[in-house]
């Protein structure tokens, strides 16, 4: 995705990222509830979830910049 300053585009992207983050939360919880030998998958899901969290925070900062900056 290319950077944009359009708030409408950012809000749509934010909604998409939050949905994917929520889906990963569910997938991780299911894997955790029924332990498997697939630790690599669990690590990948958690890494992706952290990446999404960072992207969500960055977009939120872009949409609501600090007034003091």
Q: Give the pLDDT confidence of 8-60 residue by residue, as tens digits.
A: 999 999 999 999 999 999 999 998 888 777 888 999 999 999 999 999 999 99
> Cβ distance 8 to 22 under 8 Å?
no
Quote the pLDDT of residue 66.
Answer: 67
Domain boundaries, the chain: 7-63
**Which pLDDT score, from 0 to 100, does residue 33 have?**
87
Q: How confident is the model at residue 67 (pLDDT cuts 50, 70, 90)?
A: low
Q: Which residue has the higher pLDDT, 1 or 44?
A: 44
More confident residue, 1 or 8: 8
Q: Helices 39-63 and 7-33 meet at what angle, rounded to 10? A: 150
> What is the rounded distance in angstroms from the CA atom of residue 63 to the CA atom of residue 7?
7
């Amino acid at each position: 995705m290319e950077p944009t300053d359009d708030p409408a585009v950012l809000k749509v992207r934010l909604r998409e990222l939050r949905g994917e983050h929520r889906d990963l939360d569910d997938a991780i919880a299911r894997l955790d509830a029924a332990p498997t030998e697939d630790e690599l998958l669990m690590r990948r899901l958690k890494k992706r979830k952290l990446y999404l969290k960072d992207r969500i925070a960055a977009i939120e900062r872009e949409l609501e910049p600090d007034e003091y900056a």
